[in-house]
């Protein structure tokens, strides 16, 4: 008897970060893309325009603006699709009202924001990391949100898959924040065989339609989701709603709905908060970084070690919910935490909040459209 092992179909590509995002999306099962071109995110859209029409039922549509792109993406999500849009600062600003809508109706979808210099039209072709707090708080109203990031091209692919998985698992919009450097770096990557990758999809109801409560609380806090057209004729609204999805202003119902929205993310912090540790076991100085800056920091830590300094690096892959436990550990063990970022201190304020005055937090900030170099970080470590 011969056992036939299926040959893994991995593909090697020399790809841009943006192209890797598109590969990751397709791998995750994304079958709908609506968008509006904007530098430095456009390649994501262009790859999707080429690929989706060739996939059974794959839909690509260029909309009239980013408000429309988000609207169409939400519509597709409600109709059962894994859907995505991508943009940069000005477009991300236009999307905010609909990001809140997606939070409220619990529409799983992925929004990629490739950050460029701002405010306003700013520096369209230069990198920045200045939309970090906007990704967290950009839409109005209190809401939890998942914000992820990636620091190299392979990670662009992997984190896009993770973004879709989180979106589906927690029925929430997930924001993937990249910066221009990561998005426009070309590197060799491996696209895994689809069988090697864990792909999650939303849970659909199993009860008959007349029993179905579309926003009922569950142990997971995440209600089952019936796609439009599946025979469950539900009501979806951005108004605060009861478990049936109907608008309510009853304080008890409003409270239950709002607290569940928070709880469904809160209770899975352990699953959602991702960070990579490098040389941190004995570190006395720790760098906390994300995006392309984490690569400069990696080199800086290596160089510091060569010079005998006990340095380490924590790369944040989840920006929000902020990976508090991982950062907190560093503030107990290290005499200095260095936070380099291409903004005036948007993540360092989170680090300082967690640090609570315990240890020294040194910030490196650049807003001139230039990357932060390893030597700048090295100087801060030594």
Partner 1 sequence: MADVTQLIHDYLRHNKKFPHVFCAGCGHGIVLGSLIRSVHALGLPKDDVVLVAGIGCSGRMAVYVDFNTVHTTHGRALTFATGIKMANPKLKVICVMGDGDALSIGGNHLIHAARRNIGVTALILNNHIYGMTGGQCSSATPQGDISMTTPFGSLEKAFDIADMCKAAGASYVARGTSFHAIQLDRLISTAIMHPGFSVVEVFSPCPTQYGRKNKFRNAVDMYKWLKSNTVKVETLKDPDQKPADGRIPIGVFRDVEEPGLEERYFELQRKLMGQNR
Q: Does 65 bind partner 1 (CB under 8 A)?
A: yes
Positive/negative CA dihedral, 321, 77, 25, 45: negative
How far is Cα 2 from Cα 126, in angstroms, rounded to an integer? 57
CA distances from 229 to 76, 105, 375 (A): 12, 17, 57
Report, in Å, the least distance between residue 160 CB and partner 1. 20
How far is Cα 246 from Cα 269, in angstroms, rounded to an integer? 29
CB 118 within 8 A of CB 44: no
Report, in Å, the least distance between residue 39 CB and partner 1. 22
Q: Which residues of 270-308 are buried (b: 16+ CB within 10 A; e: fewer)?
A: eebbbbeebbbeebebbbbbbbbbbbbbbebbbbbeeee
Report, in Å, the least distance between residue 229 CB and partner 1. 5
**Binders of partner 1 among 189-228, rule CB under 8 A?**
227-228
Stretch that binds partner 1, among 21-29, 55-63, 256-264, 273-281 (CB under 8 A): 55-63
Residue choice 1, 4, 12, 56 for contact with partner 1 (CB under 8 A):
56
Q: Does 73 bind partner 1 (CB under 8 A)?
A: yes
Q: What residues does 191 pair with on adjacent strands?
A: 11
* Helix or strand holding residue 319 (H, E): strand 318-320
Cα 163 versus chain centre, distance = 5
Assess whether the previous peptide bond of 363 is cis (omega < 30° from 0).
Answer: no
Q: Does 236 bind partner 1 (CB under 8 A)?
A: yes
What CA dihedral angle connects 151, 153, 157 and 160, to 10 degrees? 40
CB atoms within 10 A of CB 122: 16
Report, in Å, the least distance between residue 140 CB and partner 1. 12
Q: Does 111 bind partner 1 (CB under 8 A)?
A: no
How far is Cα 311 from Cα 79, in angstroms, rounded to an integer? 49
Considering the complex, state which of residue 199 and residue 228 has its C-beta at the smaller distance from partner 1. 228
Q: Does 259 bind partner 1 (CB under 8 A)?
A: no
Which residues are within 8 A (CB) of 324 and not within 5 positions of it... i.e. 6 or more apart? 269, 273, 354
Considering the complex, state which of residue 231 and residue 325 has its C-beta at the smaller distance from partner 1. 231
Q: Does 74 bind partner 1 (CB under 8 A)?
A: yes
Q: Does 80 bind partner 1 (CB under 8 A)?
A: yes
Binding footprint of partner 1, residue count (CB under 8 A):
46
Residue 315 dihedral angles phi and psi, to the nearest 5°: -95, 120
Report, in Å, the least distance between residue 237 CB and partner 1. 4
Considering the complex, state which of residue 72 and residue 177 has its C-beta at the smaller distance from partner 1. 72
Considering the complex, state which of residue 45 and residue 78 has its C-beta at the smaller distance from partner 1. 78
3 state SS of 186:
strand
Q: Does 68 bind partner 1 (CB under 8 A)?
A: yes
Q: Does 32 bind partner 1 (CB under 8 A)?
A: yes
Q: Write the binding mask 112 to 151 for partner 1: x where contact by CB under 8 A, - elsewhere.
A: ----------------------------------------
Stretch that binds partner 1, among 71-79, 115-123, 134-142, 350-358 (CB under 8 A): 71-79
How far is Cα 30 from Cα 58, in angstroms, rounded to an integer? 8
Report, in Å, the least distance between residue 79 CB and partner 1. 4
Report, in Å, the least distance between residue 60 CB and partner 1. 9
Q: Does 37 bind partner 1 (CB under 8 A)?
A: no
How far is Cα 245 from Cα 113, in angstroms, rounded to an integer? 30
**Binders of partner 1 among 90-109, rule CB under 8 A?**
97-98, 101
Q: Under the rule (CB under 8 A), what is the footprint of partner 1?
A: 32, 34, 53-54, 56-59, 61, 63-65, 67-81, 83, 97-98, 101, 227-231, 233-239, 244, 246-247
């Amino acid at each position: 008897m011969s056992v036939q092992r299926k040959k893994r179909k991995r593909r090697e590509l020399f790809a841009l970060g943006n192209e890797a995002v598109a590969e990751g999306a397709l791998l995750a099962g994304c079958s709908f893309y609506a968008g509006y071109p904007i530098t430095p995110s456009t390649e994501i859209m262009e790859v999707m325009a080429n690929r989706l029409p060739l996939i059974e039922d794959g839909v690509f549509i260029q909309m009239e603006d980013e408000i429309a792109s988000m609207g169409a993406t939400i519509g597709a999500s409600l109709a059962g699709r894994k859907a995505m849009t991508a943009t940069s600062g000005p477009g991300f600003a236009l999307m905010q009202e609909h990001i809140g809508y997606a939070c409220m109706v619990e529409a799983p979808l992925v929004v990629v924001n490739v950050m460029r210099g701002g405010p306003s039209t700013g520096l369209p072709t230069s990198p920045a990391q200045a939309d970090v707090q906007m990704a967290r708080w950009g839409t109005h109203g209190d809401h939890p949100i998942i914000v992820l990031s990636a620091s190299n091209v392979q990670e662009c692919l992997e984190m896009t898959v993770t973004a879709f998985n989180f979106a589906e698992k927690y029925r929430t919009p997930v924001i993937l924040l990249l910066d221009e450097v990561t998005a426009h770096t070309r590197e060799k990557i491996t696209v895994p065989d689809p069988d090697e990758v864990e792909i999650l999809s939303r849970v659909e109801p199993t009860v008959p339609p007349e029993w179905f409560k579309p926003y009922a609380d569950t142990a997971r806090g995440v209600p089952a989701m019936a796609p439009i057209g599946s025979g469950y004729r539900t009501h979806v609204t951005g108004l605060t709603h009861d478990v049936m999805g109907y608008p309510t202003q009853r304080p008890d119902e409003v409270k239950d709905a709002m607290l569940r929205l928070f709880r469904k993310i809160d209770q899975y912090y352990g699953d959602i908060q991702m960070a990579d540790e490098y040389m941190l076991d004995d570190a006395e100085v720790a760098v906390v970084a994300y995006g392309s800056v984490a690569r400069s920091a990696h080199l800086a830590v290596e160089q510091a070690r060569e010079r005998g300094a006990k340095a380490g690096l924590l790369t944040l892959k989840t920006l929000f919910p902020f990976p508090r436990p991982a950062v907190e550990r560093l503030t107990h063990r290290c005499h200095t935490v260095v936070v380099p970022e291409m903004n005036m201190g948007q993540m360092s304020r989170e680090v300082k909040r967690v640090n609570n005055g315990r240890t020294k937090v040194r910030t490196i900030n650049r807003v001139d459209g230039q990357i932060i170099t390893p030597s700048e970080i090295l100087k801060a470590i030594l």
